[in-house]
Structure formats: structure tokens, C-alpha cells
Structure 1
Amino acid sequence: MANDSKNTRKIPIVCPGHTRPLAELQFCYIAPEQRTFLVSACHDRLPMLRDGTSGDWIGTFVGHKGAVWSCRMDPSGSLAATASGDFSVHVWDAITGKDLFQLPHKHIVKTCDFSPNSKYLATGGHEGILRIYDLTQPEQAPITIPQDPSKKITITKCNWLSEDLLIVGCGDGKIRFWQPLAQGGPATVPVHTMSTEGTSEIRDMEVSRTTAGQDVLTVAAGERVYFFDLQTRTCLKSYKMPIHFREEGGASLHPSGNKFVAGGSDLWVRVFDYQTGEELELNKGHHGPIRCIRYSPTGESYATGSEDGTIRLWKTD
């Protein structure tokens, strides 16, 4: 039962447009323009681009034939990539919406991410194979790296940490660090592996740098949210949530590093104290379970995407 003393009764900005459950949200801050964008992946096959502050619709990327599971903009804001259940990844001109090229796969693709220099795109999914595409030569075959040569392990999330280091979240509850561009050919073993409790699938994974300069990996899996120090590669905090992330949901750390937001198996959006795990806020607005959640780069707001097909922008205090 909801605790009314923590229910702040905030009224979010509602962003309609999607017609099916949301799958992923990503903010992208473009420094030269001093503007924040928000891109969304959805099961309706139509990823969208919005103004990250107002939530106003900017454009829709049309071309997929299956549910879109992942959407990312490159650091320059000129490219977008989307991974889909139609066994493909599309790379788009983020300014015009033009479909630049398609990267075929052999199974559902669950995740994609641009390298910091925008030269490479990493993808992964139900094949259990990490693919690295050189976007300056998209016609060339990608670098392929199985997560485990002996068995298929689904890749659920991938995030570049640097130009030569990639973090991969998997269906076996493990987080693998790869150097896919190392000299001497494709990597065959990860340079490091971190584990969550049990074998619950990594549902969400976010790389962020706090205002104190600490690089943190936020992970949602099973019934817990984890925070890993990316320099020491150790677990800083782990909290059991009043929700689970077995089918949907995620978590995001505020840029200050003082609090985090999480949503999953119920309709509530919860804000927690990072140091203690205490629940600070309990906000309701969605009419379906929370599927994805992210703080804006400034921390002034956060976005939630739900099974109800809407995105909501919530102001922080």
C-alpha cells in the first residue's frame, strides 16, 4: 500500500505519442546548442525524439518492422541508433530523420551504444554476440565477440566507458568488461567481470559521473539496485527494492550522487536516498508498470516510460 506521507503528489509533464509499452529512454546534452534531447524506444516500432526539457515532440524515426528495444544518440547529437525485434539496427541522421543504413542481425537486438568518439557502434541481443561496427565503413563485417563460447548468453545492455572499453550486461546476472578494439584481433575473454546477487537478468544499466567526479555504474536486476565504482570495480551500495525488475523497470542515479530514482513492477515512481536507501518520494501518474527511467543531465528532472505508452517528465526538488 502506498505511504501517503511520502506521496509528493507531483504533476508531471505527460508526453503522449507512443501507442505501446516503452522500452528505453536516453537524454543527450548538446553543449554547443546548450540543449537537451530525449530519445525513446517503444514496442510500437516508432522511436521518437523530443526536447528534453519541455517534452515537446521533434520527430519520429520511421522504418522498423518490429518492436524497438533500444535507442541512443551519439555524443555530437548528429546520429541516432535503434535496436529492434526485427533483427536489425538502424542508424539515422538525428537532424533530418533520414535512415542512413541498416545493420542486419540473426535474432532480436536488445541494445546498442555509440563510442565516445562516435566512430563505433556496439550492439547485442538474443544471439549472445557483441558486435562492433565501424560507422566510417558500415559495409564491412563487424567485430563479433560471443559472451561465452560454450553457451548462448543474452546481452541486455551495453555501454561504452571509454574509446576502448565496453561494459556489457547479460542475462546471467553478470557484467562483463571488454576491450573489443585491442590490437591482436578480437578479444576472447573479458578483461573483468562483476556479478550481481543470484542470476537475475541485468534489466537496466547506466554509466554516470557524479558532480564529485566519481564514475558510477547503476544496475537494476532481480529485486535490487546496485551501484559499482567504475575505477575500483567494486560494489559501493546495494539495496533491495519494494518492486522487482524481472520483466521491466530500471534505476537512475542523480548527478549529485545523493539520491536515485527507480521504477518497475508497479505504477509508482520512487526516489531513494543514496547513502541509506531510505524512500524519499512516492509518485504516481502512470497507468501501467514503469519500463524505463532516467535523470536528465542536469538532474532538474527525470523521465519515466511506462507500459501505458506514455512518457512523463518529473521535476525534482
Structure 2
Amino acid sequence: MDKKKIAVPLVCHGHSRPVVDLFYSPITPDGFFLISASKDSSPMLRNGETGDWIGTFEGHKGAVWSCCLDTNALRAASASADFSAKVWDALTGDVLHSFEHKHIVRACSFSEDTHLLLTGGMEKILRIFDLNRPDAPPREVDRSPGSVRTVAWLHSDQTILSTCTDMGGVRLWDVRSGEIVQTLETKSPVTSAEVSQDGRYITTADGSTVKFWDANHFGLVKSYNMPCTIESASLEPKYGNKFVAGGEDMWVRFFDFHTGNEIEILITTNTIKIIK
């Protein structure tokens, strides 16, 4: 009888408090990379395949709620409870720019062309910083109807995606007009929203549901009920045939994208585990 192959995770130690955000870079000539945000205030950069520690970005004075890498993984960005968003040199760990806000910053995202940084948080304002002119005042994209939880870029930087901490729905903003052009309706606040690397789907987690939306026509493609309240969900980037979800029960679960059937389950800790 063939024994079922069990995936053995790589365990990446280092953070001293809970990890609240993870971001994989696109594949670069040097491979791909993983950056993690934690309540310990120090984002960490790792090799995305092996999990090996590369460096720690030191300078925030509060929990870091969000982190990301640009297209070439040469710069990192972080959003913090210390009322700032920072851009870092991913090779040296030096702070390149520090953008002050008036309240907690919960989310940040580089544009696809890497020239812009989008932030959002407790101020209910979406801000776009021009990284070619970092001393210039940011562009403010109207006022969000609630505190911003997540942000992302869509359609070659022509559309902004945002969610709120205290109300349902995913809002799509036209960058040119600064207006909301579409809302993807959900019953509960969306705690996680991402655009798949192939640009086909928007993956959201709200309440105990994971949904997949058409990123071009915005129709609901799939909706799956989960066994608990889900905090985050992500579609596997290479083949797109499975997704991962994690939430209140402290387990990370893998599901088949096409059927919604559970494939595998892993217990979580305050460390990072990479499944190969």
C-alpha cells in the first residue's frame, strides 16, 4: 500500500510576537523572497524557497501591520502602528523614505511599475506617494467609508482595491477620478484581499467564507464556507489549483480551488512555516 506523502514544513524562527502579514515577491533573477510583518516592530526578509533569514528591517517603534516588496525585490515597504510607512533598501536594510501619517497605518502596496506607494489605515484616507518625488505631498484618494484594512493595485495601476475593518465589501477606486467605481458585496468585513499574480482573480476572506472574484468583470466565481472564522486566504500562485486559509482556530488549511475540498491541515505558531 502506498503511503500518503506528508509535506514537511520549513520552520522560520525569529519573530518574538505574532506574525500578522506575509508577502512573496515575484520571481527575480536572484530567485524570490518572503517578507514578514509582526507586532514585534521588525519586518524580516527571507529567501522565499529555503526560508533562510536574509535581514531584519529596524526602525519602527510600533507593531508593523503590513509589508511588501517591489517587483524586483530591491525595495521593501512597511506600515506601522507608529503612524508611519517606511520604504527600505532591501539589499542594505537602510530606510530610504519615512512617510508620516496622523494615525495607525494598516496597509501598504507598491504599484506594479514600482514608482508609487499606496497606504491606508485608521485615518480612513488612501494616500499615494510618488517615490520619484518623495518630498512631494501625497495624493489623497477621497475618504474611505471606514478604517482601511487592506490595499492593492489592479489593472496596471489604474484601479485601487481597498477593504475596511468595520464594514463589509471590497471597494474598487478609479485612480484617475478618485471615485469608487465598483463594490464587491460581502456580509462581513473583509480581513484579507489580494490579486492573484496572473491577474485573473481577487481572493477575499470575510467571516467564515473565502471568495474568488473575476478581477476583470468582478463577478463572483467561487465561494466556499470554511470551518471557522477566517482571517486570511491566498491562492497558490504558480498553478492556481489550491488555496490556503487561516483563522481563529490557529490552523492553516489547504483546499482544492476547483472543489473547495480540504487537502491538508497544519498547526500554526508565532513562527513562519514554508511548505515545499
Q: Is the 8 A contact 2:28 2:73 kept in 1?
A: no
Equivalent residue in structure 2 for 1:190, among 142, 166, 180: 180
Tell me how far 1:9 sits from its aligned partner: 5.3
Structure 1 unpaired stretches of 5+: 1-6, 287-307
SS for the counterpart of 1:96 is: coil
One-letter code aligned to 1:273: D
Matching of residue 81 in structure 1 with residue 77 in structure 2: yes
Does 2:67 align with 1:71?
A: yes
Residue 234 of structure 2 is aligned to residue 252 of structure 1: yes
> Are 1:283 and 2:266 matched, yes or no?
yes
Equivalent position of 2:42 in the other structure: 46
State the alpha-carbon separation in 1 of the partners of residues 228 and 9 from structure 2: 21
> CA separation in 1, counterparts of 2:234 and 2:5?
19
Give the AA of the match of 2:164: C
- Corresponding position: 1:61 with 2:22: no
Amino acid at match of 2:195: V
Equivalent residue for 1:117? 113
8 Å CA contact retained: 2:252, 2:265:
yes
Do the aligned partners of 1:8 and 1:282 also contact (CA within 8 Å) in 2?
Answer: no
Q: Does the 8 Å contact 2:108/2:117 carry over to 1? A: yes
Deviation at 1:147, TM superposition (A): 3.9
Q: Does 1:156 align with 2:149?
A: yes
In 2, Cα distance between equivalents of 1:252 and 1:25: 10
Match for residue 176 of structure 1? 171
Scaled by the length of structure 2, the TM-score of the pair is: 0.93
CA contact (8 A) 2:36 2:67 kept: yes
SS, match of residue 266 in structure 1: coil
Give the % identical residues: 45
CA contact (8 A) 1:166 1:177 kept: yes
C-alpha root-mean-square deviation of aligned residues, in Å?
A: 1.6
Q: Cα distance, 1:195 vs. partner?
A: 1.1
Q: Deviations over 1:264-298 (max 9, x none)?
A: 111322111222211122223x2xxxxxxxxxxxx
**Contact in 2 for aligned 1:9/1:283 (Cα 8 Å):** no
Shift of 1:29: 2.8
* Paired AA for residue 270 in structure 1: R
Choose from 119, 124, 129 the match for 2:125: 129
Where do 4+ consecutive residues of structure 1 move more than 4 Å? none
Name stretches of at least 5 consecutive residues in structure 2 with no aligned partner.
none
- Cα 1:56–1:231, aligned 2, differ >3 Å: closer, same or farther? same
Larger fraction in strand: 2
| Residues 21 and 44 in structure 1, CA contact (< 8 A), matched pair in contact too | yes
The partner residue of 1:104 within 88, 100, 106 is 100
The 1-side partners of 2:202 and 2:23 are apart by 15
Between the two proteins, the alignment pairs up a number of residues equal to: 270
What is aligned with 1:264?
A: 247
Q: How far apart in 2 are the matches of 1:209 and 1:112? A: 17
